Amino acid sequence: MDFLMGLLFQTAVVLCGALVSAGCALLYFQRVHLERPAVGVFNGRDVMIVFCFVLVLPFLYILLPSVVLTGVLCLTFMGALYIGLRPLLRPRYLWIFIPLLLALNIVVTETLLGTRSGWQLYWVITDTLVLLAVVGIANLYIQGGMRLLHVAWFALLLAAYDGFFAFVVPISQKLADRFEGQPLDPSIGFALGPYNANIGLGDLLVYCLFIAAAYKGFGKKGALVSFVTIAIFGAILPSMSPLIISAVIRANIGITIPAQVLFGPVAFLTYCCLTRRQPERNMAGWLSAQAAAKHEPIHARSGTPARASLALPQLGNVAASEAQSTPLRSADAD
């Protein structure tokens, strides 16, 4: 009974995290235009570069000392938050809000995680941080020229990556354990009673990229199809997979689910189905359609070169690409 309740709680958390992130990314894409990076047209080579970062980063996160890891995550989140919030906040408020949010996360992590209310406050702050970061980074890539074709191939590569490092070489499990209870955990989650569940930033980034690219390329139909695909194959089925796949269950520790194993192939098939009826629209086509409809989005404030900002999204691209459910640690649990 407890196992089933844990799965239901995990499904609710993962579904909310995935759909809220995707919805915010779509809304941001509709309303805010970032400064386009001066790095040329996004192509397959860029997909492989990002994938190489994804391949190497988990090993770095496992090997780095906690203090160094926290410093790396601070720099990563600071860059990601700056990219996403720069069109929305004036610089003097921006450089107060970002350090304050990061510092608050670290302080709560170090002082309040011995209580259930402390875990809940921790997740509220962490969720806010990760949501803002992933929405900004996804829009940087999509508005910078990344198309649904690239996202589909990227998701397919991640499916193979997730499957290998979950079932053959269990790096995903070690990575999930590495971040649990650490400052700046790159995931969205929540805790309630004895249950604690989260979905990694890597999965969220793929979902945000997918829906923004689908909307840019195919309009409302692409967005609707993306929402359904993300909900079913990115959240519900992966979360319920422990009912039939025992390999993702670690006795007395928790559950680590390679969500992209299910989502990646379906995302690629979804792209193929969408392109059968109409060609994918690029960013120039999207901007032309918006100008014809006389939509006035919020534009990024100038003043910071966009080229340098691309390194930070790659660094924080997939810090944790799994949904995890673990028993809540509390002060009276020892």
Per-residue pLDDT at 320 exceeds 50: no
Confidence class of residue 240 from pLDDT cuts 50, 70 and 90? Answer: confident
What local confidence, expressed as pLDDT, does residue 315 receive?
34
| Model confidence at 139: pLDDT above 80 | yes
**Tens digit of pLDDT for each residue in 57-94?**
777 778 888 889 899 899 989 999 999 999 998 888 99
Predicted confidence (pLDDT) per residue in 268-290, tens digit:
999 999 999 889 998 888 888 88
Classify 294 in phi/psi space as left (phi over 0), alpha (psi -120 to 50) or beta: left
CB–CB of 179/276 below 8 Å?
Answer: no
pLDDT at 299: 66
pLDDT at 262 over 70: yes
CA distance 185 to 204: 13
pTM, to two decimals: 0.84
